[in-house]
Amino acid sequence: MSFQNPVFIPGPTNMPESLRKAVDMPTLDHRSPLFGQILHPALDGVKKVLKSETAKIFIFPSTGTGGWETALTNTLSVGDKVLAARNGMFSHRWIDMCQRHGLDVQIVETPWGAGLPADKYEEILKADTNHEIKVVLATHNETATGVRSNIAAVRKALDAAGHPAMLFVDGVSSIASMDFRMDEWGVDIAVTGSQKGFMLPAGLAIVGFSPKAMAALETATLPRTFFDVRDMGNGYANNAYPYTPAVGLLNGLNESVKMLLDEGLENVFTRHHRIAEGVRQAVNAWGLELCAVSKDVQSDTVSAIRTPEGFNATDIVTHAADKYGVAFGVGLGEVAGKVFRIGHLGSLTDVMTLSGIATAEMVMVDLGLDIKLGSGVAAAQEYYRNNAV
């Protein structure tokens, strides 16, 4: 692997030099007022990225998985009923976490490559006349399959059913890269991490709680210590943490949100869509297909590309790393060996993306696939030329 080449995995993503420098900082006293000058602007910036006026933001030294656990343990009790669809590896893992915490999960099995079945959610919620379901889980962007789901449609399903369940959304590979509207969509808890759209190293779980989710703290009885948002909130009031914070990462997050807001969130989303569409044009030119079953669910942060029947897609990832020093993503779970993934989120440009497309072509030709060198690059070039900002 070469440190000179950009990575094309769905995270951790490439880091801008300014953010690397922001993370690399001298030690400071995290109980001093100086820490508050890092902490509070970072919290305020995340709130803007989530497009929320009312959310309480909590940032833990962890990852998105820790964010999932924060959401569950602060709002639920053993035996509480949760509704979730399993349509990929990350929805599967959140379901598994629920079950390990003694929650009763009603699972809607959904094809890997399809989005969340909002219509099925509505049917189930309408049938739940006793309102036993406490939470609906939704993975906004299924990183394993390159599928984006319609969170507004899930909210509409809840509203149509007149159901009081909370809506928890995994936005780990969508937030700060694709449009996310916490207040408008009625999201009660939004979960993300530092290593994807925020363009930082892994190490921060970033969680937004709605007022309704905050009220649920009073009745939840699942054990929580490290992830207790009450302790975290009390610490924030004193410019501190209840334990030692990841100061360098928080300083990086402060700079990251400034960078995103300076670019303009709508411009960030447009850039990601344009870069993703160039990759999709290349996939079409290669004669291959995406795992995503339809255009309306295609992700703007990661493309999972199906290879021909009988071909081990993992060989593409291995060969790219060994021969060209370039990182792509392997298939996970049910699509392991059937797809390879091109991550196109975070700190990325059209020009950088073209290098990844060109490398993928060389690898597939090396491995004997019927791909014409330059075909995908040309298709992406044509798209980028005609859709430049």
Q: What is the token pair recorded at 239?
A: 């410019």
State residue 2's pLDDT score.
67
Residues 280 and 170 in one domain: no
In a domain, 137, yes or no: yes
Q: Report pLDDT for 3.
A: 80
Question: Going along 69-218, which residue ranges are E strands?
Answer: 81-86, 104-109, 133-139, 141-142, 147-148, 166-170, 189-193, 204-209
Whether residue 233 sits in one domain with residue 177: yes
Q: Which letter, b or e, does each residue of 113-126 get, where b requires 16 or more Cβ atoms within 10 Å of its Cβ?
A: bbbbbbeebbebbe
Q: Would residue 89 count as lying in a domain?
A: yes
Residue 10 is assigned to a structural domain of this protein: no
Residue 47 token pair = 């709130």
Decide if 330 is inside a domain: yes
Q: Same structural domain for residues 199 and 306? A: no
- Distance, in Å, from the CA atom of 215 to the CA atom of 333, rounded to the nearest integer, reads 36
Number of other CB atoms surrounding residue 133 within 10 Å? 23
**Comparing C-alpha atoms, which of 348, 342, 272 is closest to residue 307?**
342
From 231, 247, 262, give the residue that closes a domain. 262
Q: By residue range, what is the domain housing residue 34?
A: 17-262
Report if residue 3 sits inside a domain. Answer: no
CATH number at residue 307: 3.90.1150.10
Residue 269 sits in the same domain as residue 211: no
CATH number at residue 175: 3.40.640.10
Predicted TM-score (pTM) of the model is 0.97
For the four alpha carbons of 311, 312, 313 and 316, in that order, the dihedral sign comes to negative
H runs (alpha helix) in 287-374: 314-319, 350-366
Cis bond leading into 12, ω under 30°?
yes
Residue 299 falls within a domain, yes or no?
yes
Given 262, 284, 306, the domain boundary residue is 262
Indicate the residue among 221, 247, 262 that finishes a domain: 262
- Give Rg (Cα) of the chain: 21
Regions of the chain with pLDDT less than 70: 1-2
Whether residues 230 and 271 share a domain: the answer is: no
Q: What angle do CA 323, 328, 332 make, to 5 degrees?
A: 125
* DSSP collapsed to 3 states, 50-89: CCCCCCEEEEEECCHHHHHHHHHHCCCCCCCEEEEEECCH
Total number of domains constituting the chain: 2
Same domain flag for 330 and 350: yes
Strand partners, 108: 85
Q: State whether 238 and 272 are in the same domain.
A: no
> Helices 247-263 and 265-286 meet at what angle, rounded to 10?
80
Q: Is residue 1 situated within a structural domain?
A: no
- Whether 252 and 274 map to the same domain: the answer is no
Could you report the per-residue pLDDT of 218-270, keeping only the tens digit for each? 999 999 999 999 999 999 999 999 999 999 999 999 999 999 999 999 999 99
Kindly state whether residues 248 and 269 are assigned to the same domain: no
Does 319 share its domain with 183?
Answer: no
**Secondary structure class of 305 (helix, strand, coil):** strand
Q: Are residues 91 and 137 in the same domain?
A: yes
Examine the domain organization and report whether 64 and 137 are in the same domain. yes
For residue 8, is it within any domain? Answer: no
Burial class (CB in 10 A: 0-12, 13-18, 19+), 16: middle
